[in-house]
């Protein structure tokens, strides 16, 4: 019983942490007018990928490497979902407070507000969920504790 209560305690920490890191980078990139650069989006995706992998590694350590691949994937999925929801809510609020698309902050035309929803659905929702699921699948398979390369009868 202690293992499951410990694993449940750090689940929100990774989701909140990933969302907070994404929010901090969004604000920094917006203030420095760098958010319009293409590689800034890739940095956010790398942060999500590495964060989900780290949450699975920590989950396995807390469970003393006795967790199944499905439970590790579930941990990664929940971390992804929590971080994506928090970051999406922040981006909607940020959009209404700042007015305009932070991804295109260097452009000054009337279609910027219309492009926000494409950016929001494409990059913030779809890409973050996709990268998180890929990281969860990879982490669940790579960090699975009971992988065997030989048959039980071989020495």
Residue 83: what pLDDT?
A: 93
Quick one: tokens of 88? 């999406």
**Residue 11's closest CA among 82, 63, 103?**
82
Residue 132: what pLDDT?
A: 93
Residue 113: what pLDDT?
A: 54
Residue 33: what pLDDT?
A: 77
Place of tokens 């030989």: 150
What is residue 24's three-state secondary structure?
helix
Q: Is 16 exposed, middle or buried (0-12, 13-18, 19+ CB in 10 A)?
A: middle
**Low-confidence residues of the chain, pLDDT below 50?**
1-3, 7, 104-112, 149-151
Residue 138: what pLDDT?
A: 92
Residue 2: what pLDDT?
A: 47
pTM of the model: 0.77
User: How far is Cα 11 from Cα 102, in angstroms, rounded to an integer?
Assistant: 29
């Amino acid at each position: 019983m202690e293992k499951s209560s410990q694993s449940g305690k750090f689940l929100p920490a990774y989701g909140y942490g990933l969302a907070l890191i994404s929010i901090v980078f969004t604000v920094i990139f917006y203030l420095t007018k760098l958010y319009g650069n293409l590689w800034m989006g890739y940095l956010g995706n790398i942060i999500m990928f590495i964060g989900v992998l780290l949450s699975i590694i920590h989950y396995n350590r807390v469970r003393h490497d006795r967790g199944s691949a499905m439970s590790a994937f579930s941990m990664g999925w929940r971390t992804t979902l929590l971080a994506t929801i928090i970051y999406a809510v922040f981006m909607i609020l940020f959009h209404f407070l700042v007015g305009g698309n932070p991804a295109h902050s260097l452009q000054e035309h009337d279609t910027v507000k219309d492009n926000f929803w494409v950016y929001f659905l494409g990059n913030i929702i779809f890409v973050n969920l996709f990268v998180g699921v890929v990281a969860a699948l990879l982490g669940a398979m790579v960090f699975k504790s009971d992988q065997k390369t030989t048959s039980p009868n071989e020495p």
